[in-house]
Amino acid sequence: MSILSGKRILLGVTGSIAAFKAADLASKLTQSGAEVDVVLTGAGEKFVTPLTFQSVTGRRAFTDKDLWGDEAHVLHVNLGKKADLLVIAPCTANTIAKMAHGIADSLLTVTALAATCPILVAPAMDGGMFDHPATQENLETLQTRGVLVAGPAAGHLASGLTGIGRMLEPMDILGHVRLALGKNGKLAGKKVIVTAGGTQEAIDPVRVITNHSSGKQGYALAQAALDEGAEVTLITTPTGLNPPIGARVVRVKSAQDMLDALMNETADALVMAAAAADFRPKETAKDKLKKRDGIPQIQLEAAPDILKAISSQGGVPKRFRVMAGFAAESRDLLQNASEKLKSKGLDLIAANNISAQDAGFAVETNRITLLFADGSQENLPLMSKTEAAEKIVAHIARLLE
C-alpha cells in the first residue's frame, strides 16, 4: 500500500463507543506504513486509553494533559502542520459542532482549528442526533470549508435503536483516507475504467460457464488508480471482493453485458483485467435443465471479443485514449501477448504466465511482463497484485501525459 507508506496521519478519537474501533483503524494505518499520532479527547479517554493506541502505533498518544504540558505552546500547531491528514474517527456530534463553530477547548479541537492539512471526519452518534438540523447544518458548514465526511452508516446503534449514525468500519475509513491522500495524484482529473473478474455465461437459470479469475488483479488496479486520484469506474462480474471505496461500480455477468456496459462509457483509460469468456452457450435454457431429460448437448458459440469490438469502432476521438489489457498465456507468452497487443489495438499489455504456481488466477502474486505499442518491454519480478497494479497504473499515467 504505497499510498500510505511514510504518510503522517493524525488520528483524533472522540467520545463514542465506536472509539474501540479506532484502535483497529490506527493499527491498519500503521500496518500500511503510515506514521500515526493519536489525540484523544477527554470523552474519548473514557472509552479507550492512550496505551491502547501507543501499543498499536508504537508512538505516543496525546491527551488533554498535553494541552497544558511543557510543549503545549507548539504542540497543537505542530501536530496539525506536520500531518498529511487529520482523521477524526469517531467524530461525535459534539466535536462536529465545536469544529463548525471554531471552538477550541481540547487538544484535538485546538489542533483541528490550527491544522493546515486536509481533515476527514467519520461521524458516530446515536439515533436522532445525526438527523438533527443542528448536526446537519454543522456538517454542511464543515463540508463547505473542505472538510471530508465519511459516513455515518445505517444500522444497529449502541442504544439499541436502528438508524443512521454508526461509524463506518475501519476498512472503509481506510478507503476514505486513501481517497483523501490520493486526491492530487498523477491521475487527478482523469477517468479510468477497469474491468474485473471472470464472466459468467448462462447455460440455464442456475448453471454458468465461468473461469478461475478471482478479480483480485482488477480490484487492485481500481484501487491503484484511485490512489493516484483518478475517477474510477469498476465494471465487475460477481467476485465476492469488496470494491475499493470511491469507485463507481457497475455489476455485470456475461461478456456481452460487459461490452454493453463499456459501450455507455468514455474515459481517459480502459484497463481490461477481466477474464472474459471466449465461448458461450449458443442458447440459454429458460428453465432449469432436468437430470431426467438426460445429459444436455450444449452447443457453444463465440462470445464477443470486447477489446476488439471497442478498438474496431471507427470514429475519432477514441473513447478511451489509452487501452491496456492482459494476456493470460500458458505457453509462448511474449509472442502471444505481442500478437494480442496488436490485434486488440492496445497501448499496453500485461503478459501473464498462468501456468506458474505463484502467478495468475486466484493467487496473491503475479509475475508479468509489460509490452508496449512502441515495441518496448518491461519485465516485472514476482510481486503482489497490488504492486503490479501500481506499476501498470504508473505506466498508464505516463502514457496519458
Contacting positions for ligand CTP (CB under 6 A): 255, 272, 274, 276-278, 303, 305-307, 325-328, 340, 344
**Residue 213 CB partners (closer than 8 Å, separation 6+):** 197, 198, 237, 274, 275, 361, 362
| Closest approach of ligand CTP to the CB of residue 306, in Å | 3
| Closest approach of ligand CTP to the CB of residue 227, in Å | 22
Contact call for residues 303 and 276 (beta carbons, < 8 A): yes
SS3 344: coil
Among residues 10 and 306, whose Cβ is nearest to ligand CTP? 306
Cell numbers placing 364: 496473491
| Closest approach of ligand CTP to the CB of residue 349, in Å | 7
Give CA–CA dist 334/221, Å, rounded. Answer: 22
| Closest approach of ligand CTP to the CB of residue 308, in Å | 7
E strands along 126-221, which residues?
148-149, 153-156, 162-166, 191-196, 201-202, 208-209
Between the CA of residue 197 and those of 205, 354, 355, what are the distances in Å? 20, 15, 18
Tell me whether residue 138 is one of the annotated catalytic residues. no
By DSSP bridging, strand 231-236 and strand 208-209 are unpaired
Among residues 108 and 276, whose Cβ is nearest to ligand CTP? 276
Among residues 28 and 280, whose Cβ is nearest to ligand CTP? 280
| Closest approach of ligand CTP to the CB of residue 351, in Å | 9
SS3 369: strand
Among residues 60 and 212, whose Cβ is nearest to ligand CTP? 212
Contact call for residues 282 and 301 (beta carbons, < 8 A): yes
Catalytic residue among 94, 138, 211, 264: 211
SS3 204: coil
Among residues 7 and 385, whose Cβ is nearest to ligand CTP? 385
Task: Give the H or E element holding residue 88.
Answer: strand 85-91
| Closest approach of ligand CTP to the CB of residue 34, in Å | 33
User: Which single residue is written with the C-alpha cell 497543537?
Assistant: 76
Buried-state track 283-318, b at ≥16 Cβ within 10 A, e below 16: eebeeebeeeeeeeeeeeeebbbbbeebbeeeeeee
**Chain position whose Cβ is nearest to ligand CTP:** 325
SS3 30: helix
| Closest approach of ligand CTP to the CB of residue 277, in Å | 6
SS3 226: helix
Among residues 85 and 274, whose Cβ is nearest to ligand CTP? 274
Contact call for residues 185 and 227 (beta carbons, < 8 A): yes
By DSSP bridging, strand 300-302 and strand 279-281 are antiparallel
| Closest approach of ligand CTP to the CB of residue 274, in Å | 5
Among residues 129 and 327, whose Cβ is nearest to ligand CTP? 327
Contact call for residues 194 and 234 (beta carbons, < 8 A): yes
For the four alpha carbons of 124, 129, 132 and 137, in that order, the dihedral sign comes to negative
Among residues 32 and 353, whose Cβ is nearest to ligand CTP? 353
Name the residues annotated as catalytic.
211
